[in-house]
Amino acid sequence: MICSNIKILQNNENLTSKFLEEKIEVYGLEMQQCIESSFIRIDNFLDQIINDSFNSFNQNLEQSQLAMLHQQFILFPQLAIPNFANQQFGNELIHSLTPLVKFSIENEIKKNVEALNQDNRAIQKENQQIQDLNHQILIQSNNIKELYKQQQNENQLTQQKSKILVENEEVLQNQFLQQSKQIQYLNENLKLIENKLKTNLIIFNKELESSLRNYSKELAFSTKFKQKDIQILENGKIAFAQNNVWQVCICDQPIPKQNVITFKFNVLQMHQFYSGICFRDIISKDYRGYVSDLGHGYYLMCKDGYVYSNHDKEKNEQPLGFKLQVNDIIEITVDLKQQLIKWENKKSNQSYTLTIETNYELYPCFRLASSKVLLIE
Protein backbone atom coordinates (compact mmCIF):
# COMPACT_ATOMS: atom_id res chain seq x y z
CA MET A 1 0.00 0.00 0.00
CA ILE A 2 2.92 2.29 0.76
CA CYS A 3 4.37 1.54 -2.67
CA SER A 4 1.08 2.37 -4.25
CA ASN A 5 0.93 5.62 -2.40
CA ILE A 6 4.51 6.48 -3.47
CA LYS A 7 3.62 5.81 -7.09
CA ILE A 8 0.53 7.95 -6.76
CA LEU A 9 2.65 10.64 -5.17
CA GLN A 10 5.19 10.45 -8.00
CA ASN A 11 2.45 10.77 -10.60
CA ASN A 12 0.91 13.58 -8.68
CA GLU A 13 4.34 15.12 -8.34
CA ASN A 14 4.87 15.08 -12.09
CA LEU A 15 1.46 16.61 -12.67
CA THR A 16 2.05 19.04 -9.90
CA SER A 17 5.46 20.02 -11.29
CA LYS A 18 4.00 20.74 -14.69
CA PHE A 19 1.10 22.56 -13.16
CA LEU A 20 3.41 24.46 -10.86
CA GLU A 21 5.56 25.49 -13.73
CA GLU A 22 2.55 26.89 -15.53
CA LYS A 23 1.18 28.47 -12.42
CA ILE A 24 4.56 29.88 -11.43
CA GLU A 25 4.92 31.41 -14.85
CA VAL A 26 1.45 32.94 -14.56
CA TYR A 27 2.06 34.10 -11.00
CA GLY A 28 5.51 35.32 -12.01
CA LEU A 29 3.97 37.57 -14.62
CA GLU A 30 1.32 38.69 -12.19
CA MET A 31 3.95 39.24 -9.51
CA GLN A 32 6.07 41.22 -11.95
CA GLN A 33 3.08 43.39 -12.81
CA CYS A 34 2.25 43.72 -9.14
CA ILE A 35 5.85 44.60 -8.26
CA GLU A 36 6.03 47.11 -11.05
CA SER A 37 2.69 48.71 -10.11
CA SER A 38 3.35 48.78 -6.38
CA PHE A 39 7.16 49.17 -6.34
CA ILE A 40 6.96 52.54 -4.70
CA ARG A 41 4.73 51.22 -1.90
CA ILE A 42 6.85 48.12 -1.43
CA ASP A 43 10.03 50.20 -1.34
CA ASN A 44 8.60 52.41 1.41
CA PHE A 45 7.84 49.42 3.64
CA LEU A 46 10.84 47.38 2.57
CA ASP A 47 13.16 48.36 5.37
CA GLN A 48 10.47 47.78 8.03
CA ILE A 49 9.47 44.39 6.64
CA ILE A 50 13.06 43.24 6.30
CA ASN A 51 14.13 44.45 9.75
CA ASP A 52 11.09 43.07 11.60
CA SER A 53 10.37 39.72 10.01
CA PHE A 54 13.02 38.68 7.54
CA ASN A 55 15.08 36.50 9.82
CA SER A 56 12.14 34.97 11.76
CA PHE A 57 10.15 34.48 8.59
CA ASN A 58 12.91 32.57 6.88
CA GLN A 59 13.42 30.36 9.90
CA ASN A 60 9.68 29.71 10.37
CA LEU A 61 9.16 29.17 6.70
CA GLU A 62 12.04 26.74 6.46
CA GLN A 63 10.81 24.77 9.53
CA SER A 64 7.20 24.88 8.41
CA GLN A 65 8.03 23.68 4.93
CA LEU A 66 10.20 20.86 6.25
CA ALA A 67 7.51 19.78 8.69
CA MET A 68 4.84 19.96 6.05
CA LEU A 69 6.83 17.89 3.58
CA HIS A 70 7.64 15.35 6.22
CA GLN A 71 3.99 15.11 7.25
CA GLN A 72 2.66 14.95 3.72
CA PHE A 73 5.09 12.54 2.16
CA ILE A 74 6.00 10.35 5.06
CA LEU A 75 3.54 10.45 7.92
CA PHE A 76 0.42 11.21 5.85
CA PRO A 77 1.03 9.95 2.32
CA GLN A 78 -2.61 10.25 1.29
CA LEU A 79 -2.87 13.91 2.28
CA ALA A 80 -4.60 15.84 -0.44
CA ILE A 81 -2.48 17.96 -2.85
CA PRO A 82 -3.01 21.62 -2.27
CA ASN A 83 -5.13 23.35 -4.83
CA PHE A 84 -2.70 25.61 -6.61
CA ALA A 85 -5.53 27.05 -8.58
CA ASN A 86 -6.89 28.57 -5.42
CA GLN A 87 -6.60 32.38 -5.34
CA GLN A 88 -5.56 32.28 -1.72
CA PHE A 89 -2.57 30.09 -2.61
CA GLY A 90 -1.44 32.61 -5.15
CA ASN A 91 -1.76 35.38 -2.65
CA GLU A 92 0.14 33.38 -0.08
CA LEU A 93 2.81 32.60 -2.64
CA ILE A 94 3.09 36.25 -3.54
CA HIS A 95 3.17 37.12 0.12
CA SER A 96 5.89 34.53 0.69
CA LEU A 97 7.97 35.54 -2.32
CA THR A 98 7.68 39.25 -1.70
CA PRO A 99 10.30 39.28 1.08
CA LEU A 100 12.62 37.24 -1.11
CA VAL A 101 12.12 39.64 -3.97
CA LYS A 102 12.58 42.53 -1.59
CA PHE A 103 15.75 40.95 -0.28
CA SER A 104 17.02 40.44 -3.82
CA ILE A 105 16.09 43.99 -4.68
CA GLU A 106 17.76 45.21 -1.51
CA ASN A 107 20.94 43.35 -2.37
CA GLU A 108 20.83 44.77 -5.85
CA ILE A 109 20.19 48.20 -4.43
CA LYS A 110 23.08 47.73 -1.98
CA LYS A 111 25.31 46.69 -4.85
CA ASN A 112 24.15 49.68 -6.86
CA VAL A 113 24.61 51.95 -3.85
CA GLU A 114 28.09 50.55 -3.26
CA ALA A 115 28.88 50.99 -6.92
CA LEU A 116 27.48 54.50 -6.71
CA ASN A 117 29.59 55.11 -3.60
CA GLN A 118 32.66 53.84 -5.40
CA ASP A 119 31.81 56.01 -8.36
CA ASN A 120 31.20 58.88 -6.00
CA ARG A 121 34.58 58.31 -4.31
CA ALA A 122 36.22 58.12 -7.73
CA ILE A 123 34.40 61.29 -8.74
CA GLN A 124 35.47 62.96 -5.50
CA LYS A 125 39.05 61.85 -6.13
CA GLU A 126 38.84 63.16 -9.67
CA ASN A 127 37.26 66.35 -8.36
CA GLN A 128 40.13 66.70 -5.89
CA GLN A 129 42.60 66.12 -8.70
CA ILE A 130 40.71 68.65 -10.77
CA GLN A 131 40.80 71.09 -7.88
CA ASP A 132 44.54 70.52 -7.47
CA LEU A 133 44.97 70.94 -11.18
CA ASN A 134 42.83 74.08 -11.10
CA HIS A 135 44.95 75.37 -8.22
CA GLN A 136 48.12 74.72 -10.19
CA ILE A 137 46.52 76.31 -13.24
CA LEU A 138 45.57 79.28 -11.07
CA ILE A 139 49.16 79.57 -9.82
CA GLN A 140 50.46 79.28 -13.34
CA SER A 141 47.88 81.79 -14.48
CA ASN A 142 48.96 84.22 -11.76
CA ASN A 143 52.59 83.65 -12.69
CA ILE A 144 51.76 84.28 -16.32
CA LYS A 145 49.82 87.40 -15.35
CA GLU A 146 52.78 88.58 -13.27
CA LEU A 147 55.19 87.84 -16.10
CA TYR A 148 52.87 89.59 -18.49
CA LYS A 149 52.72 92.56 -16.12
CA GLN A 150 56.51 92.57 -15.84
CA GLN A 151 56.77 92.31 -19.60
CA GLN A 152 54.38 95.23 -19.95
CA ASN A 153 56.45 97.21 -17.46
CA GLU A 154 59.62 96.29 -19.31
CA ASN A 155 58.01 97.22 -22.60
CA GLN A 156 56.87 100.48 -21.09
CA LEU A 157 60.34 101.08 -19.69
CA THR A 158 61.85 100.20 -23.06
CA GLN A 159 59.49 102.62 -24.74
CA GLN A 160 60.42 105.29 -22.23
CA LYS A 161 64.12 104.57 -22.79
CA SER A 162 63.59 104.64 -26.53
CA LYS A 163 61.78 107.93 -26.18
CA ILE A 164 64.54 109.31 -23.98
CA LEU A 165 67.16 108.02 -26.42
CA VAL A 166 65.35 109.68 -29.29
CA GLU A 167 65.09 112.91 -27.32
CA ASN A 168 68.71 112.62 -26.24
CA GLU A 169 69.73 111.87 -29.78
CA GLU A 170 67.98 115.01 -30.94
CA VAL A 171 69.62 116.97 -28.14
CA LEU A 172 73.00 115.44 -28.98
CA GLN A 173 72.52 116.18 -32.65
CA ASN A 174 71.72 119.79 -31.83
CA GLN A 175 74.69 119.93 -29.47
CA PHE A 176 76.86 118.30 -32.12
CA LEU A 177 75.76 120.85 -34.68
CA GLN A 178 76.43 123.68 -32.25
CA GLN A 179 79.78 122.21 -31.26
CA SER A 180 80.62 121.64 -34.91
CA LYS A 181 79.94 125.29 -35.58
CA GLN A 182 81.99 126.25 -32.54
CA ILE A 183 84.81 123.92 -33.62
CA GLN A 184 84.70 125.37 -37.10
CA TYR A 185 84.83 128.85 -35.61
CA LEU A 186 87.68 127.82 -33.30
CA ASN A 187 89.54 126.18 -36.18
CA GLU A 188 89.27 129.36 -38.17
CA ASN A 189 90.51 131.35 -35.19
CA LEU A 190 93.24 128.81 -34.54
CA LYS A 191 94.32 129.07 -38.13
CA LEU A 192 94.48 132.83 -37.78
CA ILE A 193 96.34 132.45 -34.50
CA GLU A 194 98.66 129.87 -36.03
CA ASN A 195 99.46 132.16 -38.91
CA LYS A 196 100.02 134.98 -36.47
CA LEU A 197 102.20 132.75 -34.28
CA LYS A 198 104.22 131.67 -37.28
CA THR A 199 104.77 135.27 -38.15
CA ASN A 200 105.62 136.12 -34.56
CA LEU A 201 107.88 133.08 -34.32
CA ILE A 202 109.78 134.17 -37.38
CA ILE A 203 110.11 137.61 -35.90
CA PHE A 204 111.05 136.14 -32.53
CA ASN A 205 113.68 133.84 -34.03
CA LYS A 206 115.14 136.74 -35.91
CA GLU A 207 115.12 138.83 -32.78
CA LEU A 208 116.58 135.92 -30.79
CA GLU A 209 119.29 135.38 -33.34
CA SER A 210 119.98 139.06 -33.30
CA SER A 211 119.85 139.03 -29.50
CA LEU A 212 122.32 136.15 -29.33
CA ARG A 213 124.62 137.91 -31.74
CA ASN A 214 124.18 141.05 -29.75
CA TYR A 215 124.80 139.15 -26.48
CA SER A 216 128.08 137.84 -27.73
CA LYS A 217 128.85 141.18 -29.30
CA GLU A 218 127.89 143.18 -26.23
CA LEU A 219 129.42 140.80 -23.70
CA ALA A 220 132.09 142.61 -21.65
CA PHE A 221 133.92 142.31 -18.36
CA SER A 222 132.53 144.33 -15.49
CA THR A 223 134.62 147.04 -13.92
CA LYS A 224 132.59 146.72 -10.74
CA PHE A 225 132.13 143.00 -10.07
CA LYS A 226 135.80 141.90 -10.00
CA GLN A 227 138.85 141.59 -7.83
CA LYS A 228 140.41 145.04 -7.60
CA ASP A 229 143.81 144.11 -9.06
CA ILE A 230 142.40 142.77 -12.35
CA GLN A 231 142.80 145.16 -15.29
CA ILE A 232 139.91 145.58 -17.74
CA LEU A 233 141.15 146.59 -21.22
CA GLU A 234 139.84 147.11 -24.76
CA ASN A 235 136.40 148.38 -23.70
CA GLY A 236 135.81 145.43 -21.46
CA LYS A 237 136.90 142.74 -23.91
CA ILE A 238 140.20 141.88 -22.15
CA ALA A 239 140.78 140.92 -18.51
CA PHE A 240 144.38 140.78 -17.27
CA ALA A 241 145.49 139.47 -13.85
CA GLN A 242 149.14 140.34 -13.69
CA ASN A 243 149.84 139.08 -10.19
CA ASN A 244 150.08 135.39 -9.37
CA VAL A 245 147.13 135.45 -6.97
CA TRP A 246 143.55 134.30 -7.42
CA GLN A 247 141.45 137.01 -8.98
CA VAL A 248 137.84 136.74 -10.22
CA CYS A 249 136.25 138.87 -12.91
CA ILE A 250 132.54 138.71 -13.88
CA CYS A 251 130.80 139.95 -17.04
CA ASP A 252 128.08 142.58 -16.80
CA GLN A 253 125.50 140.73 -18.96
CA PRO A 254 123.44 137.96 -17.23
CA ILE A 255 122.65 134.79 -19.14
CA PRO A 256 119.06 134.97 -20.59
CA LYS A 257 116.76 132.49 -18.83
CA GLN A 258 114.81 131.28 -21.87
CA ASN A 259 117.59 131.11 -24.39
CA VAL A 260 120.59 129.02 -25.24
CA ILE A 261 123.60 131.35 -25.47
CA THR A 262 127.19 130.89 -26.51
CA PHE A 263 130.25 133.04 -26.02
CA LYS A 264 133.87 132.57 -27.03
CA PHE A 265 137.20 133.58 -25.64
CA ASN A 266 140.88 133.37 -26.63
CA VAL A 267 143.55 132.39 -24.12
CA LEU A 268 146.22 135.10 -24.54
CA GLN A 269 148.34 134.32 -21.48
CA MET A 270 147.97 131.46 -18.99
CA HIS A 271 149.34 130.51 -15.61
CA GLN A 272 146.26 129.72 -13.49
CA PHE A 273 143.17 129.85 -15.68
CA TYR A 274 139.49 129.02 -14.87
CA SER A 275 136.48 129.71 -17.13
CA GLY A 276 132.72 129.25 -16.77
CA ILE A 277 129.71 130.82 -15.01
CA CYS A 278 128.74 131.79 -11.48
CA PHE A 279 125.95 132.99 -9.20
CA ARG A 280 127.08 136.57 -8.79
CA ASP A 281 124.89 137.16 -5.77
CA ILE A 282 126.22 134.28 -3.64
CA ILE A 283 129.95 134.07 -4.43
CA SER A 284 132.46 135.45 -2.00
CA LYS A 285 132.72 139.23 -2.41
CA ASP A 286 136.49 139.20 -2.05
CA TYR A 287 136.47 137.70 -5.57
CA ARG A 288 139.16 135.14 -4.81
CA GLY A 289 137.11 132.22 -6.06
CA TYR A 290 137.43 129.58 -3.38
CA VAL A 291 135.89 126.39 -4.77
CA SER A 292 136.79 123.58 -2.34
CA ASP A 293 133.46 123.42 -0.50
CA LEU A 294 130.03 122.94 -2.06
CA GLY A 295 127.85 126.01 -2.34
CA HIS A 296 130.74 128.13 -3.55
CA GLY A 297 128.58 129.48 -6.40
CA TYR A 298 130.76 128.50 -9.42
CA TYR A 299 130.60 126.11 -12.42
CA LEU A 300 134.16 126.20 -13.78
CA MET A 301 136.81 124.23 -15.68
CA CYS A 302 140.51 124.96 -15.15
CA LYS A 303 143.43 124.74 -17.60
CA ASP A 304 144.31 121.24 -16.32
CA GLY A 305 140.82 119.83 -17.00
CA TYR A 306 139.48 119.87 -13.42
CA VAL A 307 135.84 120.85 -13.11
CA TYR A 308 134.07 122.55 -10.21
CA SER A 309 130.37 122.24 -9.38
CA ASN A 310 128.37 124.33 -6.94
CA HIS A 311 126.03 121.40 -6.06
CA ASP A 312 127.51 118.08 -7.29
CA LYS A 313 129.99 116.67 -4.74
CA GLU A 314 131.01 113.74 -6.97
CA LYS A 315 132.14 116.08 -9.75
CA ASN A 316 133.53 119.00 -7.77
CA GLU A 317 137.36 119.20 -8.12
CA GLN A 318 137.50 116.14 -10.43
CA PRO A 319 139.66 115.85 -13.61
CA LEU A 320 136.76 115.26 -15.97
CA GLY A 321 137.36 117.97 -18.60
CA PHE A 322 140.21 118.69 -21.02
CA LYS A 323 143.46 120.71 -20.79
CA LEU A 324 143.98 124.16 -22.29
CA GLN A 325 146.91 125.84 -24.03
CA VAL A 326 147.76 129.41 -24.90
CA ASN A 327 145.97 130.69 -28.01
CA ASP A 328 143.18 128.07 -27.67
CA ILE A 329 139.72 129.35 -28.63
CA ILE A 330 137.07 128.01 -26.28
CA GLU A 331 133.31 128.23 -26.89
CA ILE A 332 131.00 128.01 -23.88
CA THR A 333 127.32 127.10 -24.41
CA VAL A 334 124.79 127.59 -21.60
CA ASP A 335 121.30 126.05 -21.78
CA LEU A 336 119.30 127.11 -18.74
CA LYS A 337 116.24 125.12 -19.84
CA GLN A 338 118.19 121.87 -19.96
CA GLN A 339 120.44 123.06 -17.09
CA LEU A 340 123.70 122.37 -18.90
CA ILE A 341 127.01 124.11 -19.57
CA LYS A 342 129.35 122.89 -22.28
CA TRP A 343 133.03 123.74 -22.96
CA GLU A 344 134.33 123.04 -26.46
CA ASN A 345 137.90 123.55 -27.77
CA LYS A 346 137.55 124.80 -31.34
CA LYS A 347 141.09 123.69 -32.17
CA SER A 348 141.13 120.18 -30.69
CA ASN A 349 137.32 119.60 -30.86
CA GLN A 350 137.43 118.38 -27.28
CA SER A 351 134.35 119.08 -25.16
CA TYR A 352 132.84 118.49 -21.76
CA THR A 353 129.29 119.05 -20.42
CA LEU A 354 128.37 119.68 -16.81
CA THR A 355 124.93 119.87 -15.17
CA ILE A 356 124.06 123.12 -13.41
CA GLU A 357 121.42 124.61 -11.16
CA THR A 358 119.42 127.71 -12.03
CA ASN A 359 118.27 128.89 -8.61
CA TYR A 360 119.85 132.32 -9.10
CA GLU A 361 120.84 134.49 -12.04
CA LEU A 362 124.01 133.29 -13.75
CA TYR A 363 126.86 135.34 -15.30
CA PRO A 364 129.96 134.45 -17.34
CA CYS A 365 133.08 134.65 -15.16
CA PHE A 366 136.82 133.87 -15.07
CA ARG A 367 139.28 133.10 -12.28
CA LEU A 368 142.78 134.19 -13.26
CA ALA A 369 146.33 134.37 -11.89
CA SER A 370 149.12 135.74 -14.12
CA SER A 371 146.77 135.17 -17.07
CA LYS A 372 145.03 137.18 -19.78
CA VAL A 373 141.79 136.41 -21.71
CA LEU A 374 140.07 138.01 -24.71
CA LEU A 375 136.30 137.88 -25.34
CA ILE A 376 135.59 137.38 -29.05
CA GLU A 377 132.44 137.45 -31.08
Paired with 90 in beta bridges are: none
Give me the mean pLDDT over the 130-154 stretch. 84
Q: How confident is the model at residue 121 (pLDDT cuts 50, 70, 90)?
A: confident
pTM over 0.85: no
Domain 221-376 in this protein, CATH class: mainly beta
Q: What is the pLDDT of residues 199-242, one digit of tens each?
A: 776 765 665 565 566 787 889 999 999 999 999 999 999 999 99
Nearest one of 334, 376, 373, 377 to 226, comparing CA atoms: 373
- pLDDT score at 234: 93
Q: What is the pLDDT of residue 48?
A: 63
31-35, 249-253, 370-374: least confident range: 31-35
pLDDT value, residue 239: 96
277 vs 15, residue with greater confidence:
277
Residue 123 scores a pLDDT above 60: yes
Q: How far apart are CA 353 and CA 342, in angstroms?
A: 4
Cα separation, 34 vs 30, whole angstroms? 6
3-state helix, strand, coil in the chain (%, to 5): 55, 20, 25
**For residues 49-54, average pLDDT:** 56
How far apart CA 333 and CA 273 sit, in angstroms, is: 18
Q: What's the mean pLDDT in 69-89?
A: 51
Burial bucket for residue 128 (CB in 10 Å: 0-12, 13-18, 19+): exposed
Among the residue ranges 3-17, 89-103, 318-332, 350-364, the one predicted with the least confidence is 3-17
What is the per-residue pLDDT across 187-198, written as a single tens digit (0 to 9) for each?
Answer: 888 888 888 878
What is the residue-averaged pLDDT of the chain? Answer: 80
CB 345 within 8 A of CB 265: no
Note the pLDDT of residue 43. Answer: 60
Looking at per-residue pLDDT, the higher value among 154 and 31 belongs to 154
Domain layout of the chain by residue ranges = 2-128, 221-376
Mean pLDDT of the 368-375 span = 96
How large is the average pLDDT for residues 259-271? Answer: 93
Name the 3-class secondary structure at 16.
helix
